[in-house]
């Protein structure tokens, strides 16, 4: 989940990376979503940050958090969580 604030919008710099990985591993194994933290109380702790935050869930449980648009770290985290 790309957790973003309304003033900056979803992180466009990593969309291509997400698409590439999803095409490699298959759509059944990897799903991406965006969430505006300003409108979701459960994501309140991610408000007020000036960096993108990516939340990784497996089976409904938060399993990893990556702060910043660090493409190598995002790719590593995605592949580790599959």
Per-residue pLDDT tens listing for the chain (82 residues):
888 888 877 777 787 888 888 888 888 888 888 888 889 999 888 888 778 889 999 989 999 999 988 889 999 999 898 8
Q: What is the pLDDT of residue 45?
A: 87
Q: What is the extent of the structural domain holding 55?
A: 2-81
Q: What is the pLDDT of residue 28?
A: 84
CATH number of the domain at 63, please. Answer: 3.40.30.10
Strand locations in 5-60, DSSP E? 34-36, 53-58
Q: What is the pLDDT of residue 22?
A: 87
Cα–Cα distance for residue pair 65/8, rounded to 1 Å: 19
Treating both helix axes as pointing N-terminal to C-terminal, what angle do 71-81 and 15-25 enclose, rounded to 10 degrees?
Answer: 30
In terms of phi and psi (left: phi > 0; alpha: psi -120 to 50; beta: otherwise), the region of 26 is left
Class of residue 52 by CB neighbours under 10 A (exposed 0-12, middle 13-18, buried 19+): buried
pTM of the predicted structure, to 2 decimals:
0.78
How many structural domains is the chain composed of? Answer: 1
């Amino acid at each position: 989940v790309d957790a973003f604030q309304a003033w900056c919008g979803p992180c466009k710099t990593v969309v291509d990376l997400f698409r590439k990985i999803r095409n490699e591993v298959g759509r059944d194994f990897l799903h991406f979503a965006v969430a505006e933290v300003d409108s979701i109380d459960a994501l309140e702790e991610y408000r007020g940050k000036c960096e993108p935050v990516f939340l990784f869930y497996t089976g409904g449980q938060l399993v990893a958090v990556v702060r910043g648009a660090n493409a190598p770290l995002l790719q590593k985290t995605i592949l580790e969580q599959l």
